[in-house]
Amino acid sequence: MTGEAERRGIDWRVSDRAIDYEPAVDEMEARVAAIRAGTAPELVWLLEHPPLYTAGTSARGGDLLEPDRFPVHRTGRGGQYTYHGPGQRVGYVMLDLEQRGRDVRRHVHDLEAWLIGTLAAFGVKGERRPGRVGIWVARGAGREDKIAAIGVRVRRWVTYHGVSLNLDPDLEHFAGIVPCGIASEGLGVTSLHALGHTASMAELDAALAENFEAVFGVAATRSSPFDRLSMRTLPRA
């Protein structure tokens, strides 16, 4: 990363209410344009969405099992169908690959390492799997569950979209899709709470911040104020 990018720093934004999907995408696209223009620093935005499904560029219609259950949003990120909802931390990562090296594969690898390091902070061994996007947890007896998803888009060498990590979402909500197009026997979804790690969202955010610095080599230098996008209070059990 160049000295100019280092001086500029990275904004770290945490939204404490659920953000509707389309306003979040509009905000990302505006920020991507500003980063490319040199008028705004890079941004990591942590948030939650209300319950919804997103369809990536490789999504297959047959993998949407319950099309009327939650809103379905077509998106330009890579990947297939994904669920977002309360209890899941979404991390939208807007980084300038002009400054970091024009290597999208490296960016995805770094996002994976970020998630793996964050899970390790709670004693969970997250792992990559060849041919399967995201981060997986071995459960024994041949079973593996997905705990984090990755889907990125790059515009003029600025990244956006990013990752999602299951803290304590309603895992039954994943039943309305074939998550990431993977329907093999012995594969499922899980969360930190389902694995017995009852961390708070604030604790998860702290681990994400610490491991972001470890992987990407730069700390968030300031907290970006929450913009008043379309938002709603999260339902809690």
What is the amino acid identity at position 24? A
pLDDT at 179 over 80: no
Predicted confidence (pLDDT) per residue in 49-67, tens digit: 999 999 888 888 888 999 9
0.75 surpassed by pTM:
yes
Q: What is the domain-level CATH number for residue 84?
A: 3.30.930.10
Predicted confidence (pLDDT) per residue in 72-115, tens digit: 998 878 778 889 999 999 999 999 999 999 999 999 999 999 99
Number of compact structural domains in the chain: 1
In a domain, 185, yes or no: yes
In a domain, 228, yes or no: no
Place of tokens 């990013």: 162
Q: Kindly report the CA angle at 208 between 203 and 209, in degrees rounded to 5?
A: 100
Residue-number span of the structural domain to which 7 is assigned:
3-218
For residue 56, the number of C-alpha atoms closer than 13 Å in the C-beta half-sphere is: 22
What is the amino acid identity at position 223? S
In a domain, 105, yes or no: yes
Q: Which residues carry out catalysis?
A: 180
